[in-house]
Structures are given as structure tokens and as C-alpha cells.
Amino acid sequence: MSTLKEILTRRPVAATIRLTVPAGGARPAPPVGPALGQYRLNLMAFCKDFNARTQKYKPDTPMAVVITAFKDNTFEFTVRSPSVTWYLKKAAGLEKGSGRPGHVTASSLTLKHVYEIAKVKQQDPYCQYMPLESICKSIIGTANSMGIKVQKEFD
Amino acid sequence: MSLVINSLRSHFFKHLLCTSTAAAAASTATALIFGHRTRGLVGQSRFSDSVFFFSERYKLLSQLASKTATFSTSRSSSSLETLPTDSYTSPYLSVTIRCQKNVADMLSEALLCFGANSTSIDEHDDSEVGDEICISSIFSVSQDVKESISLAVDSIGLKEIPSYDVVMHDHTDWIKESQESFHPVEVIEGIWIVPEWRKPPDLQATNIILNPGLAFGTGDHPTTKLCLMLLYDVIKGGEVFLDYGTGSGILAIAAIKFGAAFSAGLDIDPQAITAAQHNAALNNIQPEKLFLSLVPSTGSATFTHEIVSKPTDRQHLNDKGVFTETEKFHVVIANILLNPLLDLADQIVSHAKPGATVGLSGIISEQVPRIIQRYSPFLEDIKVSKMDDWACLAGFKKINLG
């Protein structure tokens, strides 16, 4: 739902760049350097901006960034928190999910973990208007597909 | 920057004695990058699985066996830690994949999950007919491109692997391209920041010549501008200035140019210190006026101080090599990030004299209340200046701190 003014003044887009950068750890080096360098974007500005905006996350969590580079060498970017699977693996202390989800349980988590993950996810620009309960349900669904059991409390 | 690259290609692995000439700065730069960085790499907590890290580096070693002399020197040295390449200088693979427009987004997300460092999609004009679009993706040299692509394609349900090309690029390519985006900028009336490879537009004005290298601080970021404006207001001549988080050294050098008697610059990144030393030489600043040092990032006292071995600098460090000048500075500016500002509040303020000006930046507007809350025990009369959603706080250190 863009306003008419926004549509008229929209800058021409040169490219869409996707990256994974650790929170607070953007440096003008690979992976950021080559990816942005080829579109002549200001690396320092992106790194500083990204680091400042990801201060609220734990350092070195891999954030997914989508950068829209415009033809006049300016850019905008949105930052998303890491995928739910990453959070689940971290919370459960796993390297990979279970090989046979549904049959073999790799690990188990409590509802408290799910609630904490849902709170972080709600800060994402895409999930802000979703009720916390539905975010939790989708996290439980992902956990089931990875072979992670969700219990009410640890026994 | 070319000096650094050239000296990378020659044998250099020796302990260094800093002198203030640019050539020596370049050779110290390389030794710093490799000598200190390897130590730093092993100690850093972000490489949690060090075994994996070493095996990845050995793969890199074997692939780049014939490349440059730097590799052979590093392999010949005995310790396990001296690994040649550093992510700043390693080559990378650029892969161009052609695929259908409707799957491009999904494929680029999947590529990120399966090992690509980044993906980018160029926008095509609508006038271009055809269903194909190009995704260009960057992988590190040690990645198996074919396997990553096939896993990614599999995960989104495409039947066949699309055609792709792989090109190996050198690190100088992207460095050169990013340097093209720097232009001279007039921060305050009469003060210009000029990149090393461009001519100053106004020779009469105060020109600060910079080559940021791989460090922060090119001069056109709003926080740098805010800090420079603060410096310009505060420095009347003869002050002693501390730049905490100096990056390219721009604030420390600017302070000297505005008339400060002495500047000190601290940073946790060795790249920053070398860039700052290089920039100081570019601006003809004598070593007595400018002192640069590395500080440990976790605040522990145990760090190697082979970086700073100028004889004049020893006076500022105690026998453990830790910067311990407390209550010596008339002006202290820290242009870093929210979390370091919160964690290091005590240290930053301890360096300032009572009544000194303390400036804090690198924060976005919404983070200002937290900084005010953290620093109000130490500072009074805190003023906030903003530019473009970035903020800079300035206050005076309280005279009687209990």
C-alpha cells in the first residue's frame, strides 16, 4: 500500500543483494565487501548502520540482510533475525536436526524456549502484527519437522 | 592501499620497529595483519570450533599453493597459528547462475543456506523479454560450488540444475571498486576530507587526507560529521584529545589540525591502527603529536604489545602494555557502537579530566535514552545533536566524582 507520492519518487532499483552477516560484526571484508563493492555502495555506511541496528541482538548471531541497491549508488536494507531452525538448534544444543523427524527425536525443548524464540521473531518486520500464539504454533511445527520434541516442562 | 598490497607480495614476516614513514607503515601493516591477526584469530570466541577452522584453512592453503610468496613464508614458519590468508585479502569465487524469474528469490535464499556468502539479483528493465534472470553469488574459495548449487536447487524443488559460470576474483577487485565511491566532502565550512587518490577541490582550506583502508571513518558518515563538528567547537588550541575507537584516525588527525597539542587514538582492530598510522603520515603529523594504540577487546590486561614499539610510546603504557592514562585528557570522543559504549563507560570516562568534554556517538536516535541513563552518573549538562537518525551526545565530566 504505497502512497502515490512514494510511487512517483521511487528510485530505480539496480539490484537486490542478500547476505548473512553476524550481528554487530559487519566489516568491509568478505562477505560484505565483494557483494556491495561491485555495486559501488558505501561499505562503511552500511557496516556502521547495520552494526548500530543489530546491537540489540546477541553478538555474532547470523542475521539475514536484504539490501536494495538503487541506481544512484544509494541503498536501503532490512534485517531479519536468523531462521527459526537456527534458534531451535541453538536452544537444543544440536548441530543438525534429526535424520528421521517424526520417528527419531533429536532433542526436546520446553514451551518457555518456544516463547522466548517467538518474542525475538516478533521483532522482525514481517511478524510484528501476528499474535504471539500463532508464532509459537509455527515454531512448534518447525520443531516437529526437525525432530525436536516440545514439552510443557522438563521432567 | 596499494603499498599494503605490494608489500603483501614480498617476504615480510619479521618483528617490526615502527617508524613514522609511510613505507615502514606499510610493512608494519602487513606484519600487523598477519602477526597480530593470527593471534587474534585463535583467541577469538567467534570461532567456536577451532578444529574445523584449521582444516578449512589447510584446504585453502593447498588450493592456493602457487599463488604468492606470502603463502610460502607462512608455511615455512613453525607454529600452527601462522596461517597466511586473512579474509580481507583472500580471493573469492563469483558464480553467475541463470534461472527463471519466478524461482530467483527462492533460489537465492536457498543458496545462502547452503554455503554462499551472498547472492545478488540485478534488476532488469521490463522491456527485456524473456524469462531468464541472473543471480550472481559469491562463495569463498574453499566452498564446493557445484555441491552447494545442487543442494539449493534440490531444496526448492527444481528438477534440473541451471547453467552457471564460475569466475575467481582477486581481493583487489572489490577493494578498488569500493574506493571509487569516496569523494572529497566538506564537513564544516573550510574543512574538507579528501581521499588519498583524489585531489582536494580547495587547496586553501584545511584538508584532511585519508586512506581509510579497511577501517571505519571516511568522513561522510553522519556520526563522523557530528563528531567533527563537536571537535571544531571544543578545540580552541593546546588541548589533549583522546579518540576512543579511532578507526581510520580521522578524529585524532582532525583534532591536531584544529590545534590540539596532542592526540591519542585507541582501537581494538589492528587494521584500524595501521590505517590510522598511514593517514597520520599522509597528513604530515609528527609522531610526538599523535599516539595510536591497540586495546584489548575484552578489557583484560593480557595482550601483546608488539604493535606499539615506538620508543616514545612506551611512556604511555605500563609494563603490561596497557593504556593507563587516567584523567589526562581535555576532550574524549568515542564514536563506536551502543554495546561497547555501555560496557566501557567507566573506562572511557576515567581517561577524561574533571570538567572535560566527553562526546559519544555511533548510536541511532532510539538508543539515546540508554546512553543517557548509563552516563548520567559521570556526565553533566548532556546535549544531544542529531543528523539523519544518528545522534551524538556531548557532556562535561562531573568535577567531583565519588
**CATH code assigned at A130:** 1.10.10.250
Q: Specify if A1 maps to a domain.
A: no
Interface check A150 vs B, CB under 8 A: no
- A56 with A31, same domain: the answer is yes
From A79, A107, A126, give the residue that closes a domain: A79
- The C-alpha of B221 sits at a distance from chain A's nearest C-alpha, in angstroms, of 6
Residue A138 Cα to chain centre, angstroms: 16
Residue A75 Cα to chain centre, angstroms: 19
**Segment of B4-8, B80-84, B352-356 carrying the highest mean pLDDT:** B352-356
Could you tell me how many helices (H) and strands (E) chain A has, helices first? 6, 5
Residue with cell 610460502: B72
- A27 with A69, same domain: the answer is yes
| Pick among B114, B178, B221, B374 to test the A interface (most A CBs inside 10 A) | B178
The answer to whether residues B112 and B118 touch, using CB atoms and an 8 Å cutoff, is yes
Give the amino acid at B145: V
- A72 with A103, same domain: the answer is no
- A74 with A116, same domain: the answer is no
Indicate yes or no: CB of A31 within 8 angstroms of CB of B138.
Answer: yes
Average pLDDT, chain A: 80
pLDDT, residue B45, reads: 39
Interface check B214 vs A, CB under 8 A: yes
Q: Specify if A21 maps to a domain.
A: yes
Residue with cell 566489516: A27
Q: Specify if A36 maps to a domain.
A: yes
Q: Specify if A102 maps to a domain.
A: yes
Number of domains chain A contains = 2
Minimal Cα distance from B89: which residue of A? A29
Domain of residue A58: give its range.
Answer: 11-79
Neighbour-count burial of A90, counting CB atoms closer than 10 A to its CB (0-12 exposed, 13-18 middle, 19+ buried): middle
Kindly report which listed range (B19-23, B138-142, B221-225, B390-394) carries the lowest average pLDDT score: B19-23
pLDDT, residue B126, reads: 54
pLDDT range class, residue B61, cuts 50, 70, 90 = very low
Kindly report the number of other CB atoms within 10 A of residue A46's CB atom: 20
pLDDT tens for each residue of A20-68: 888 887 887 777 777 787 777 778 888 888 888 888 888 878 888 888 8
What is the distance between the alpha carbons of residues B399 and A8, in angstroms, rounded to a whole number? 55
**CATH code assigned at A21:** 3.30.1550.10
- A62 with A105, same domain: the answer is no
Interface check A86 vs B, CB under 8 A: no
Strand order from edge to edge, sheet including B390-397 = B290-294, B262-267, B240-244, B329-335, B352-364, B390-397, B379-387
Q: Specify if A67 maps to a domain.
A: yes
Indicate yes or no: CB of A22 within 8 angstroms of CB of B46.
Answer: yes
- A62 with A88, same domain: the answer is no
pLDDT tens for each residue of A91-147: 888 777 677 777 788 788 888 888 888 888 887 777 788 888 888 888 888 888 878
Neighbour-count burial of B351, counting CB atoms closer than 10 A to its CB (0-12 exposed, 13-18 middle, 19+ buried): buried
Set of chain B residues whose Cβ sits within 8 Å of the Cβ of A55: 337-339, 367
Backbone angles phi, psi at B170, to 5 degrees: -90, 160
From A28, A52, A79, give the residue that closes a domain: A79
Average pLDDT, chain B: 70
Indicate yes or no: CB of B337 within 8 angstroms of CB of A59.
Answer: no
- A90 with A144, same domain: the answer is yes
Kindly report which listed range (B28-42, B182-196, B376-390) carries the lowest average pLDDT score: B28-42
From A49, A79, A109, give the residue that closes a domain: A79
- A88 with A66, same domain: the answer is no
| Pick among B45, B95, B171, B174 to test the A interface (most A CBs inside 10 A) | B174
CA terminus-to-terminus distance, chain B = 47
Indicate yes or no: CB of A40 within 8 angstroms of CB of B181.
Answer: yes
pLDDT tens for each residue of B361-371: 888 888 889 88
The answer to whether residues B234 and B255 touch, using CB atoms and an 8 Å cutoff, is no
pLDDT, residue B138, reads: 81
pLDDT tens for each residue of B262-307: 888 888 888 888 888 888 888 888 888 888 888 876 543 333 333 3
Q: Specify if A2 maps to a domain.
A: no
Q: In B92-204, which ranges are E strands?
A: 92-100, 118-122, 132-140, 164-169, 185-188, 191-195
Q: Specify if A28 maps to a domain.
A: yes
Kindly report the number of other CB atoms within 10 A of residue B155's CB atom: 15
Query: Which among B109, B122, B140 is the nearest to A30, CB-wise?
Result: B140
